[in-house]
């Protein structure tokens, strides 16, 4: 797969003193090369950016992407971060090649770069995150969303609670979960198995179309419970299914299934927001 490298995910890179010191185009080219060698890493790097950011709490201002603490214990050892260590190690090598960028900034820049080169929107990006010296300031291991809380009502309430803590309303929540258009669940990591879409390395609104148009049935006798299409080539998590089961979430699934351009627009705004939560760019 060949990807153009003549653009930067940051629309204002040339205007900032920080960007003048950090060659984002050079780093982007290196990231594109990594993706071209191993396309499977694309969705994983998006997940790194998300997990590094989703530890934020607007209730006390702790957590988030600032500090890049996902490379340290305890965060690196959180169960929900299982499987990210190899991708983080790849990015740490990129940072060694480009020491002018912080680990914290690179984890987010890599994520937004992968979204773009997999066909998704350009997510605005700016430098300014600092690196923590260790994981001593990591938040509690209770911030990342769970796939199932036992029943649709409890699972929907959990999803809403997690995303409201991050500062998101229902529409933004649905937009962000639309990142499940790329990647797959791995049984050895989470117990769940399979991709959400037929094009797991292409960012699109296919996730929403599949939620609405595919016949989903819970897998008999499987623990944890997941939902599969008739041929069992695709899957949805219980936390995906509540987006069509919950009457407040459902309209936004419909909206994005019928309007990919709007989904891209809303996703870019929401993803920038989650990756900047808690970051003081003025220091």
β-strand 194-195 against 235-236: which pairing, if any?
unpaired
Give the pair of three-digit tokens for residue 21.
Answer: 């010191």
- Residue 161 CB contacts under 8 Å (≥ 6 apart), including other chains: none
CB 242 within 8 A of CB 211: no
- DSSP characters over 223-264: SS--EE-TTSS-EE-HHHHHHHHSTTTHHHHHHHHS-HHHHH
Query: Is 51 tagged catalytic?
Result: yes
Catalytic status, residue 196? yes
Alpha carbons 103 and 72: distance in angstroms, whole number: 11
Alpha helices in 57-123 (DSSP H): 85-97, 103-117
In sign, the C-alpha dihedral spanning 39, 178, 270, 141 is: negative
Annotated active-site residue in 51, 103, 158, 180: 51
- Alpha carbons 22 and 151: distance in angstroms, whole number: 47
How far apart CA 238 and CA 148 sit, in angstroms, is 5
Helix (H, G, I), strand (E, B) or coil at 36: helix
Options 103, 158, 180, 196, the catalytic residue:
196
Whether the CB-CB separation of 46 and 114 falls below 8 Å is answered with: yes
Residue 25's CB is within 10 A of a number of other CB atoms, namely: 17
- CA 69 from chain center: how many Å? 16
- Contact between 34 and 77 (Cβ < 8 Å): no
Residue among 54, 34, 38 at smallest CA distance from 110: 34
- The catalytic site residues sit at 51, 196
């Amino acid at each position: 797969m060949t990807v153009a490298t003549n653009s930067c995910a940051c629309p204002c890179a040339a205007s900032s003193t920080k960007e003048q010191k950090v060659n984002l185009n050079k780093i982007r080219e290196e990231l594109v090369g990594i993706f071209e060698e191993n396309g499977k890493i694309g969705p994983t790097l998006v997940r790194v950016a998300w997990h590094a950011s989703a530890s934020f709490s607007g209730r006390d201002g702790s957590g988030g992407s600032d500090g890049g603490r996902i490379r340290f214990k305890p965060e690196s050892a959180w169960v929900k971060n299982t499987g990210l260590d190899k991708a983080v190690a790849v990015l740490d090598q990129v940072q060694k090649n480009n020491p002018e960028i912080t680990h914290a900034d690179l984890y987010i820049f890599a994520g937004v770069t992968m979204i773009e080169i997999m066909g998704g929107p350009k997510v605005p990006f700016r430098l300014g995150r600092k690196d923590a010296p260790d994981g001593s300031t990591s938040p509690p291991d209770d911030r990342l969303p769970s796939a199932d809380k036992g029943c649709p009502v409890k699972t929907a309430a959990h999803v809403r609670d997690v995303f409201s803590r991050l500062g998101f309303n229902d529409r933004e929540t649905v937009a962000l979960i639309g990142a499940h258009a790329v990647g797959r669940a791995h049984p050895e990591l989470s117990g769940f198995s399979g991709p959400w879409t037929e094009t797991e390395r292409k960012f699109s609104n296919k996730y929403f179309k599949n939620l609405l148009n595919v016949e989903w049935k819970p897998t008999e006798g499987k623990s944890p419970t997941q939902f599969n299409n008739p041929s069992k080539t695709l899957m949805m998590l219980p936390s995906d299914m509540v987006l069509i089961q919950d009457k407040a979430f459902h309209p936004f699934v419909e909206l994005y299934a019928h309007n990919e351009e709007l989904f891209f627009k809303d996703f870019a705004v929401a993803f920038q927001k989650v990756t900047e939560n808690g970051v003081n760019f003025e220091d």
